[in-house]
Amino acid sequence: MRINLMDASLRVPGGHPHDIDLLLTKAMVRMGHDVHVYCHQDATAAVQAGYAQIASITPLFTIDPYKRPQPYPVELGNIIKNLDGSLVTASELTKTRPADVWLWPSMYAHQVLACAYTKSTSFISGCIHHPPDFFSREDPAWWQYAFMQAQAVKLNLKISMIEPETRYPFLPLTVDGNLHLAPYPHDGCSAITPRKEVKRIGVFGAQRQEKGKALLIPLLKKLSAQGYKVVLQDSNHHGHKLDHTDGIDYLGYVSNLTDELIKCDLVLAPYNAEAYYKRGSGIVMNAIACGVPVIAPDGSAAGRFVQQTGAGVLFNQYSLSSINNAVQLAVDNYTELACAAHVASHNWQKNHGVERFLRAMIE
């Protein structure tokens, strides 16, 4: 099939848009599809060169879903993004090549509305990763309006989510409640036998405040002082290894996160549960897919999955002491956790993965 992969957030190496898009593009080409990637107009030369080795890529979009128009306050900025942004994006979509499928690995309200304005006859499949009010409290109304317009023009639209917690708040916003749950788009790497003991502990991803950035250094220094090898990887840094001080091994952006995850015996996700209540964590899912036990927040989508698999320990307060106590509990019960994580990683291969995600999206 001719598939146009659309991602207006695709600008720099690292982070959710780049990593997922790259996995999907490689898989689609491997499956024999004719793929063309459409990214943000400001995509770096490194991003464009990386994708050009696999498929065609065109810088196209001007509206980044994560960038609020300035200098307006939040509510007005989001109105401008959804109202004007949908018209701009619709105009840009008319410049794409004819295709059987428009695949949006990460889709937002103004993009659904833009697709409706084009009245495209292509099959349009989008995945939503954030709750409807993620950017603004007014955004649920925009989602509802976008879905209404899509139905009015009989758009051939399929909307999917990965987490049930993300799907639930969208149900009353749709006309028919036809929202799908897709497999997790991570392949992982199952080990032959479970891990034996905790020697290396890691924190991965694009480090931000809601991911526990303020707690990381004191937490990791404490673990290092206890004798553990500790790694902190931050995809926001696009060099190679950043530093090696205070017993912490600092990494910047890495092209294959799985290779780093499998070196660890325990992965920390010291996230704020309130921020992750209705959205998942690719880091947590990838770690479980690799059979690595995880420390995650109770009351979050990621924590729910960790609890279901038994592949980790949950902390109940967003504090240094609570997270450190969870780490100690994991160390004390590591044989049991490692066995559960090992089983979870093998079950993962039966139910999830990049190609399974793709088939759920485009078939």
pLDDT in tens, 76-134: 888 899 999 999 999 999 999 999 999 999 999 999 999 999 999 999 999 999 999 99
Indicate the length of the chain as a whole number: 363
Res 149: pLDDT: 97
Look at residue 175 and tell me whether its pLDDT is greater than 90.
no
- pTM for this model (two decimals): 0.90
Q: Is the peptide bond before 59 cis (omega within 30 degrees of 0)?
A: no
Tell me how crowded residue 350 is: count the other CB atoms within 10 A of its CB: 8
The phi, psi pair for 103, rounded to 5°, reads: -105, 120
In whole angstroms, what is the distance from residue 284 CA to residue 267 CA? Answer: 8
In whole angstroms, what is the distance from residue 350 CA to residue 355 CA? Answer: 12
Instruction: Report the chain's C-alpha Rg in angstroms.
Output: 21
- Which has more pLDDT, 256 or 128? 128
Tokens at 4, concatenated? 């146009």
* Fold assignment, 2-182: Rossmann fold (3.40.50)
Burial 189-215 (b: 16+ CB within 10 A, else e): bbbeebbeebebbbbbbbbeeebbeeb
Query: Taking a C-beta distance cutoff of 8 angstroms, is the pair 175, 155 a contact?
Result: no
Res 241: pLDDT: 45
Look at residue 157 and tell me whether its pLDDT is greater than 50.
yes
Every domain of the chain with CATH number 3.40.50.2000 lies at: 2-182, 200-350
CATH code for the domain defined by 200-350: 3.40.50.2000
Res 102: pLDDT: 98
